[in-house]
Amino acid sequence: MFNLFKAPCLSIDLGTVNTLIYLNDELVLNEPSVVAVRDDKTTLERTVVAVGKEAKAMLGRTPDSIQAIRPMRDGVIADFTITKKMLQHFMKSVSRSGFFSPSPNVLICVPCGATQVERRAIKESAVEAGARDVFLIDEPIAASLGAGVDISASLGHMIIDIGGGTSEIAVMSLNGLVYADSLRTAGDTFNDEIVKYVRHEHSIIIGETTAEKIKEDIGSAFKVTAVKRKTYVGRGVSSGLPEKFIMTNIQVLEALTVPLSSLISGIRLALEKTPPELSSDIAKNGVMLTGGGALLEGLGMLIKDKTNLDVHIADDPLTCAVRGGCIALDLIDEKSLNFLSAE
């Protein structure tokens, strides 16, 4: 166990889409998990050109010599080397701001479905990026703490944390996970389905960035009477030229039918696997929604319609997990804190 007063402590949500860092109850970094690298064909070395927002702006716009890479996939490391460089950059950028100078102790949120190999890769990446001690916490627990849910009592709480790469569905009681599942149905899946829909219905090709914009602008998870429509631009399949097309919230709902059904199936399975006593608690307390996916319009209404449970959306759901990690760091010396892993 490390001493919190001797070394600074960082809470990091190393997400598929965004990386967030909390220090001293303050959000000090919120950047896209994207790295742009240049491949040197003579030395076969990869040089980092940009990280974060600057690199995200290059997605789909780079020449052959530069690649914009998302090193995290489905909440775990897909490219170890690039992830290490990305972490080094983020931690150094916080250091340059004068927040800390010695090697920090780090707590990282990980999907509950991550294997031991994946957890070890995340820890090693943080250590090689300059961390002194690294602790891991399951994302549903961190998100619960960040949402203000009291998981220490002998009451059942259900949380659904919808991120970019995974959706975490968990039932908790007495600081532990009674049931947990990590679905590969999340924000990235929604974007992919929108890309497919636009190509199929409009014969237009769009990129991930445009699909994400459509989701954020007029995304919908539940049928409503009010129709929203916006115009976007893509590339015509047959002409190869830029073409405008109109998308409505009803069309987005149609595009998201399959992933939303998968998410509802995961929630129902969790309720089926929950012990009866905890089920009664969940029926009374409802479900807590966190993560960026919680901002999808109508998602709470969809879950309520399919499960008959009240749905609460956390304040600032995007930062729930990283804020919860910060709370866990504050409680790290308490014996009741049994959900941290130093694996």
Residues 7 and 135 in one domain: yes
Do residue 87 and residue 144 come from a single domain? yes
**Whether 7 and 108 share a structural domain:** yes
Predicted pLDDT at 254: 96
**Could you identify the residue written with the tokens 């930062």?**
319
Nearest in space to 277 (alpha carbons), one of 204, 174, 196, 200:
174
From 257, 287, 307, give the residue that closes a domain: 257
Asked if 241 and 283 count as a contact pair (C-beta separation under 8 A), the reply is no
In terms of domains, do 193 and 165 share one? no
CB 12 within 8 A of CB 325: yes
Q: Residues 213, 247: one domain? A: yes
Distance, CA of 334 to chain centre: 28
Residues 53 and 112 in one domain: no
The predicted pLDDT at position 100 comes to 52
Question: Both 6 and 131 in a single domain?
Answer: yes
Ordered alpha helix ranges (H), the chain: 53-56, 80-96, 116-128, 139-146, 187-202, 208-218, 249-255, 257-273, 276-285, 299-307, 320-330
Judgement on whether residues 179 and 290 belong to the same structural domain of the protein = yes
The residues, ordered by sequence, that sit 6+ positions from 142 with a Cβ below 8 Å of its Cβ are 13, 109, 320, 321, 322, 324, 325, 328
Same domain, 290 and 312: yes
Residue 170 contacts residue 112 (beta carbons within 8 Å): yes
Identify the CATH number of the domain in which residue 327 sits.
3.30.420.40
Torsion sign, CA atoms 258, 260, 266, 269: negative
The DSSP code for 338 is -
Q: How far does Cα 256 stand from its chain's mean position?
A: 18
299 and 191 share one domain? no
- Choose the final residue of a domain: 43, 69, 95: 69
Q: How many domains does the chain have?
A: 4
Asked if 238 and 342 sit in the same domain, the reply is no
pLDDT per position in the chain (343 positions), as tens?
Answer: 444 445 678 899 988 999 999 987 789 999 999 999 988 776 667 888 999 999 998 887 888 888 888 998 887 888 888 988 898 889 888 875 555 567 888 999 999 888 898 889 889 888 888 888 899 999 999 999 999 999 888 899 999 999 999 999 999 999 889 999 999 999 999 999 999 999 999 999 999 889 999 999 999 999 988 899 999 999 999 999 999 999 999 999 999 999 999 999 999 999 999 999 999 999 999 999 999 999 999 999 999 999 999 999 999 999 999 999 988 888 765 544 555 554 4
User: Domain range spanning residue 159?
Assistant: 150-184+261-317
Residue 65's pLDDT is what? 83
pLDDT for the residue 1: 46
CATH number of the domain where residue 249 is located: 3.90.640.10
What pLDDT sits at residue 333? 52
C-alpha distance across the termini of the chain, in Å: 13
Is 195 in the same domain as 158?
no
